[in-house]
Structure 1
Amino acid sequence: MARRRRALVGIGGLLVVGGALAAGMRADVPASELEARHATPPSRFLEVDGLRIHYRDQGQGPALVLLHGSNASLFTWEGWVRELSAHHRVITLDLPGHGLTGPDAKGRYSWTDMARVLEDFRARLGLERFHLAGNSMGGSVAWHYALLHPERVERLILVDAAGYPREEPSPLVFRLMRAPGLGELLSRVSPRWVIDRNVRAVYGDPSKVTEENVDRYYALLLREGNRKATRERLRITTDDGLWKRLGEVRAPTLILWGAKDTWILPRYGERFDRDIPDSRLVVYPDLGHVPMEEDPARTAADARRFLAEGVTAPPAPASGGATP
C-alpha cells in the first residue's frame, strides 16, 4: 500500500511538472509581427554579410555606437539616446541572435565574431572613427573591437562588462541553457514570469522594473530563432584569452559599474581599471547590472563628461595687434 501511495505521488508530481512545462510552452513569434510593433521610426534595417541588422541612428555630432548585453536589445539604451543625442550621433543596434536582428545563419555569436560583424556594420555606415560603449556581453564585444581595430575607436565606455574568466558560477539561467537536453527544452518553455524574474534580478532596485520593459524583453526573446541562437551562443567557450591583452587598449576608457551587480561582480570593474592603461572607474552604490537602463540620466551625464574630454576646442581668436 505504501509503495502504491509513493507511486501515485510520483505520478502526480510528474503530472504537475508536465502541466507546468506545457503551460510554459511558447511558440516562436514571426519576425514580421514583432517588427510591426517594435520597428517603428527611427528603426532601420541594414544587410551586412547575410545578416539583416536592426539599428537606430539618431542625433548629431561625434558618433557613439552602443552595444547591448545578453538577451537584451538596442532598447536598453533608449534612456542614453534621449540624454546624449543632442550632442552625439547615437547609433544602437541589435547584435546577432538578439532583438529584431534575429539569428545568424553563420552562427557568429562569439565575442570576436560579433566584433567582426560590428566592423562590417561600421564599414556599411561609412564611419571612420567613433566612440564605442557596451554593457555586459556588449561590453566584451566593445573591448574586443577596440583591441582588433584601435584605429577606429576614439573613446571606450564599458558598463558592467563581461570578458574575464569567471571565478564564480554564471547565472543559473545561463547554466540551464547550456545543459544538453535541458537547454533544448528551455528553448521552448519560456513563461513570462521567468523573464520578469531575470529582469528584476539585474536591477539594483527591482521596483524600478516596469511591466512595459518586461513585455518588450519577453516579446523579443520569442522572435523566431532567438531562443535557439541563445542556446548556441551560451555553449560557445567565451574565454578566448584576449583579456590578457587589455593592456594594449589605446582608447581612453571609462568603466561604469553598479555596486549591486550580482551577475558580473564589481571586482571585475576594478580589474578592468587595473588592466587598461588609460582608464577610470565610476561605481554607483545603488545600481545593478544595467546602470544605463536603471538610471539613464545620471549614468549618461558621466558618459557625456567623459566624451567631451575628447573634443578638441577650436583655436581661440588672436588678441591684440593690428587687423590687416
Structure 2
Amino acid sequence: MLTDDENPAKQPETTPQRRGPSRALKGVAALLAGLVAAILTLAYAWQPPEERDFHSSWSVDSHFVDTPVARFHYTKAGKGSPVVLLPGGTLWSYTYRDTIPALAKDHTVYAVDPPGYGYTTVHDEDFGYDVQAMADALSSFMDAVGVPRASIVAHSLNGSVALYLAETRPERVDKLVLMAPLGLNAPVNFNLELMRVPVIGEAVTKLMGRSTFASGLSGAYARGERMTSRVVDEYWAPLSRRPNRKAMWKQVRMIDLSLVDRKLGDIRAPTLILWGDRDEFVSPEQADRLRRRIPGSTLRLFPGLGHVLHEDAPALVNLELLAFLDTDGVRPKR
C-alpha cells in the first residue's frame, strides 16, 4: 500500500507560473520604441543643413518689400498694366525667367515669391499657409507695391490661391491665367498625400537632399533637357532653408480645395487655363472639368508638355499669355 507521499493522486496541486514577455518580444518592443523616438526626433528636433554659399546667376532686378505677413522678395520689369506671377510648389519666381521678358514688353510684371517660397521671409513662424492666409498675403503684397488690381498668372499649387483670390476679392483680379492648377476638390498625387500625413510629411521634407529633390523635379518636365544642373541648384538653394521646408508640407496639409471648388462658378474674371497633356503631377483629365466649372473660361491643352509647361516650351506658352493678356480676355481662335 502506498503512503500519501508516494501516491501521485495525493500530491499537492501546483499552479503554473505565468511567464513575462519573452526576450524576443521585449526586443521588438524596444526596437519599435527606438524607431518611433528616432522618427519624432527627425521630424521635430533635428534640422538639416541649409545651402548658404549659393549665388544665383539669374540677372534680374530683385526687390524686397515688408508687409505685416512677410518680407516679400519679388522682381519687377516692364511698363503697362500690372501682371502678378505666382510660382508652383517648391519653385520660386525664377521659374518665370523666360516668361518675364516677353510679358514686360507691354506690362508691368511682378514675379513674387509667396510666403514659404524662394527668398521671401515670413514674419510669423505659425503662419497658416491655407488658401485664406495665402490669399491675404498676396493681397498684402499687392497693397505694399501699390497695385490695387492686376492680372494673376499662377502655376500648380498656387493656382488654388489665385482662384480663391478671384472668388473672394474679385475687385483685385483683372484677368486670371491658371497653369496646371490645383483647383478642383479631387485626389492629389502620391507625393502630396505623403506630405499630408503627420510626422511623415515633416520627416520626408527634412530628409530630402538635392539629389532627391532633383529626382522628383525631373518628373515635372516632359523635355528633360530643360532641367539642367544649374536649374536644380537655383531651386534647391532656397528650398533647403528651414522655413521653406516647413512650408512645403504645411501648405499641402492645410490646403482645403473644397473651399476653392465650391466657388468656381462665382469667378467673373476672364480666365485662361493652360495644361500640358504629359503632366504627371496634376492630371490633365481635370483640365476640361475645370473649364466647364469656371464661367466663360478658355482651355488650351499643349501636346507633349509636362507640369512646368512654361519651362518646357516658353515660346509657345508666352504666345498664349500675350494673346490673352493683350486682348479683352478671349483667346483668338486659330
Same fold per TM (> 0.5)?
A: yes
Conserved 8 A contact 1:195-1:217: no
With over 3 angstroms needed to count, the CA separation of the structure-2 counterparts of 1:120 and 1:100, relative to structure 1, is: same
Q: Are positions 1:27 and 2:49 aligned together?
A: yes
Residue in structure 2 matching 1:136, options 156, 162, 173: 156
Instruction: Specify the alignment match of 2:195 in structure 1.
Output: 177
Q: Are positions 1:298 and 2:320 aligned together?
A: no
Secondary structure of the corresponding residue to residue 262 of structure 2: helix
Residue 227 of structure 1 and its aligned partner are, at CA, apart by 0.8
Conserved 8 A contact 1:102-1:226: no
Structure label with greater radius of gyration? 2
Conserved 8 A contact 1:258-1:266: yes
Q: Are positions 1:118 and 2:171 aligned together?
A: no
Instruction: Specify the alignment match of 2:173 in structure 1.
Output: 153
Q: Are positions 1:95 and 2:114 aligned together?
A: yes
Instruction: Specify the alignment match of 2:5 in structure 1.
Output: none
* CA distance in structure 2 between the aligned counterparts of 1:102 and 1:177, rounded to whole angstroms: 22
* CA distance in structure 1 between the aligned counterparts of 2:162 and 2:69, rounded to whole angstroms: 22
* CA distance in structure 1 between the aligned counterparts of 2:73 and 2:325, rounded to whole angstroms: 25
Residue in structure 2 matching 1:229, options 232, 247, 255: 247
With over 3 angstroms needed to count, the CA separation of the structure-2 counterparts of 1:184 and 1:44, relative to structure 1, is: same
Conserved 8 A contact 2:58-2:94: no
Q: Are positions 1:53 and 2:53 aligned together?
A: no
Instruction: Specify the alignment match of 1:188 in structure 2.
Output: 206
Q: Given residue 119 of structure 1, which amino acid in structure 2 is its aligned partner?
A: S
Residue 51 of structure 1 and its aligned partner are, at CA, apart by 0.8
Q: Report the identity percentage.
A: 32
Unpaired segments ≥5 residues, structure 1: 1-13, 15-20, 312-324
* CA distance in structure 2 between the aligned counterparts of 1:174 and 1:74, rounded to whole angstroms: 21
TM-score, structure 2 as length reference? 0.79
TM-score, structure 1 as length reference? 0.82
Residue 37 of structure 1 and its aligned partner are, at CA, apart by 4.1
Conserved 8 A contact 2:189-2:281: yes
* CA distance in structure 2 between the aligned counterparts of 1:106 and 1:47, rounded to whole angstroms: 18
* CA distance in structure 2 between the aligned counterparts of 1:193 and 1:172, rounded to whole angstroms: 19
Unpaired segments ≥5 residues, structure 2: 1-34, 36-41, 330-334
With over 3 angstroms needed to count, the CA separation of the structure-2 counterparts of 1:28 and 1:58, relative to structure 1, is: same
Q: Given residue 49 of structure 2, which amino acid in structure 1 is its aligned partner?
A: A
Secondary structure of the corresponding residue to residue 309 of structure 1: coil
Conserved 8 A contact 1:155-1:310: no
Task: Kindly provide the CA deviation profile for residues 96-124 of structure 1, in whole angstroms up to 9, marking residues without a partner as x.
Answer: 11111144524131122111111111111
Q: What aligned pairs does 1:2-41 form with structure 2 within 5 A after superposition? A: 26-29=48-51, 37=56, 41=60
* CA distance in structure 2 between the aligned counterparts of 1:57 and 1:240, rounded to whole angstroms: 33
